[in-house]
A and B are shown apart, each in its own frame.
Chain A
Amino acid sequence: EVQLVESGGGLVKPGGSLKLSCAASGFTFSNAWMSWVRQAPGKGLEWVGRIKSETDGETTDYAAPVKGRFTISRDDSKNTLYLQMNSLKTEDTAVYYCATVARGSGWISLHYYYYYYMDVWGKGTTVTVSS
């Protein structure tokens, strides 16, 4: 069974740091692109960032609100994804989900395109930033 289990959430003061983990099982983690998505209390979904597989360069991409403060990394030997969060702000309070990034492709008017969506999600871990 494909499974993602997040951990590491908790209460942290503004300006503090926290590192989240996401343990993967049931699929070949090393081949997967992975994302973090968050949801503030009573709000909608917000994509946080993505890391590609090692074979695709293990490059990262981030949403503007977290760029320069958050870092996504992975340890394929442990089938684990990480989210290092520094300089935390009260507005970072949210449930943080990890998810696999599915990649599709198709032809449109003689051009070949790729598209990306999240097909497997963990249950989430809660981060509260408060003094």
Chain B
Amino acid sequence: DIQMTQSPSSVSASVGDRVTITCRASQGISRWLAWYQQKPGKAPKLLIYAASSLQSGVPSRFSGSGSGTDFTLTISSLQPEDFATYYCQQADSFPLTFGGGTKVEIK
């Protein structure tokens, strides 16, 4: 199975900050990576697929990049509604696997 490792596990940031989260796959997965946002008590929400394609309705301050084994999710200017936990997921093959999550907290 492909293992996904996210870092950091948590980050404290202020509104307006640029935030970057990284995700590493245990083997090459081309561009086949998705990112999700989850708020407490809610279901995950798809943000990005195929490493850099923005899901419909997702604000353009979210962007993704990377290929092979190393990927990043960037929030260009953090908004109050962005405080949440973010997960990467390898989309290359079954079983699908998630990273451990990165909690974005208010500084």
Contacts and interface: CB of A to CB of B under 8 A. Distances in A.
Interface of A: 35, 37, 44-47, 50, 61-64, 97, 102, 104, 106, 108, 113, 115-119, 121-124
Contacts of A102: 49
A106 B31 contact: yes
Contacts of A119: 46, 49, 55
A35 B50 contact: no
B34 interface: yes
Contacts of A113: 30, 32, 92
Contacts of B94: 50, 61, 116
A116 B93 CA distance: 7
B45 interface: yes
Contacts of A117: 34, 46, 49, 89, 91, 96
A45 B32 CA distance: 18
Given A45-B89, A61-B95, A118-B44, 5 more contacts: A45-B101, A64-B95, A115-B32, A115-B49, A117-B91
B100 interface: yes
A62 B34 CA distance: 20
Contacts, number: 72
Interface residues of B, number: 27
B55 A115 contact: no
B103 to A, nearest CB: 10
Interface of A is mostly: strand
26 contacts: A44-B87, A44-B101, A45-B36, A45-B87, A47-B89, A47-B98, A50-B94, A62-B95, A63-B95, A97-B44, A104-B91, A106-B31, A108-B30, A113-B32, A115-B49, A116-B91, A116-B96, A117-B46, A117-B96, A118-B34, A118-B46, A118-B89, A119-B46, A119-B49, A121-B45, A123-B43
A119 B30 CA distance: 20
A47 B96 contact: yes
